[in-house]
Amino acid sequence: MGKILVIADQKDSAIATGRGLELAARLGYSVDVYAFVYAPLGRLKQTAAERNALKQRLLEDREAEVQARIDKLSREGQKVKLKVVWQKDVAPWVVGHCGKTAYEMVVKTGRRSESIANTSTDWQLLRECPAPVLIVAKKKWRRTQPVMAALDLSSRIAAKKQLNATILSQAIALAEAMDEQLHIICAVEVPTLLEDLDLIDSRSYVAEAKQAMAPHIKALARQFDLPLKAFVVKRGPVEKVITSQAASMRAQMVVMGTVGRKGVRAKLIGNTAERVLGQLKTDVLALKP
């Protein structure tokens, strides 16, 4: 049986905890909930014993708080384990833990902001975590329904072709578990610079791109027993196509891939999944090659 790792929300919030428990129950997975607490106790003018006692109290208070949420939100008979960790930097700890323990996904409530000087926990997990990462939206569209899979059918790289199959497989499983429809979106992005310089005819470029995608769509349709009409191909920048399509259908979850760029290159270029997260009012499950 698979496992989901849930990063417990801070006080007065149970978004990720509730979503993680719900998905685990629907998919038949067990749940490991990790709650984090930290305070710079070394600055206090207390004895080592007094600081240790305070640390233990903080750990116990956090455990009681999160356990109360789990008791309220979990289903009868659901397998849930809670562990409270004294840790300031959550992302590196989770990345290291997932490197040693296999999880079907990591579930975290999104904090969808980033500056050039500060990389949030969300972005660190998307770039570095070996497990799929589900960033749960705080504010969602009303009456969300379908699950949407976003595929990159323009790439000739074998790893990305395999990732398309993984995305589709995961999206199908989630749609079935949640008893929702599945929608599949693919983007044809016209190189803006070449178009501006009149070096390509955009209509011909899109037509040729769609023609090149057709065999891949047919192969995936056969592999997963899906109708061809389930695959929608639209022209535009990838993140705009994904966000506009998800918004129009009010998707409750978008399943997509991320290349997981790191460092300066990621900050200057950005990852599609990260740009999408900044615009969507829905959950995003990001998978790596």
The three-class DSSP label of residue 123 is helix
pLDDT-based confidence at 1, cuts 50/70/90?
Answer: confident
- Return the pLDDT at 116: 39
Contact criterion met (CB below 8 Å) for 184 and 230: yes
Domain 3-136, CATH 3.40.50.12370 — does that match? yes
pLDDT at 83 over 50: yes
Same fold, 3-136 and 147-287: yes
- Summary mean pLDDT of the chain: 87
Mean pLDDT of 260-289: 70
pLDDT tens profile 190-234 = 876 665 566 677 888 888 889 999 999 999 999 999 999 999 999
- Return the pLDDT at 117: 39
pLDDT at 261 over 60: no
- Return the pLDDT at 260: 55
pLDDT tens profile 17-54 = 999 999 999 999 999 999 999 988 877 778 888 889 99
pLDDT at 132 over 50: yes
Which of the two residues, 263 and 278, has the higher pLDDT score? 278
- Return the pLDDT at 199: 67
pLDDT tens profile 91-113 = 999 999 999 999 999 999 987 55
pLDDT at 266 over 60: no
Q: How far is CA 255 from CA 106, 165, 196, 265, in A?
A: 14, 12, 32, 24
- Return the pLDDT at 167: 96
Enumerate the domain spans of the chain.
Answer: 3-136, 147-287
pLDDT tens profile 136-180 = 988 787 788 899 999 998 877 888 889 999 999 999 999 999 999
pLDDT-based confidence at 281, cuts 50/70/90?
Answer: confident
pLDDT-based confidence at 253, cuts 50/70/90?
Answer: very high
Separation of alpha carbons 243 and 93, rounded Å: 31
Separation of alpha carbons 125 and 258, rounded Å: 11
CATH architecture group of domain 147-287: 3-Layer(aba) Sandwich (3.40)
- The phi, psi pair for 4, rounded to 5°, reads -115, 135
Which of the two residues, 85 and 114, has the higher pLDDT score? 85
Q: To which residue do tokens 């926990």 refer?
A: 121
Q: Name the residue among 8, 48, 54, 4 with its Cα closest to residue 26.
A: 4
pTM for the full predicted model: 0.89
pLDDT-based confidence at 239, cuts 50/70/90?
Answer: confident
Q: How many CB atoms lie within 10 A of CB 162?
A: 11
pLDDT-based confidence at 12, cuts 50/70/90?
Answer: low
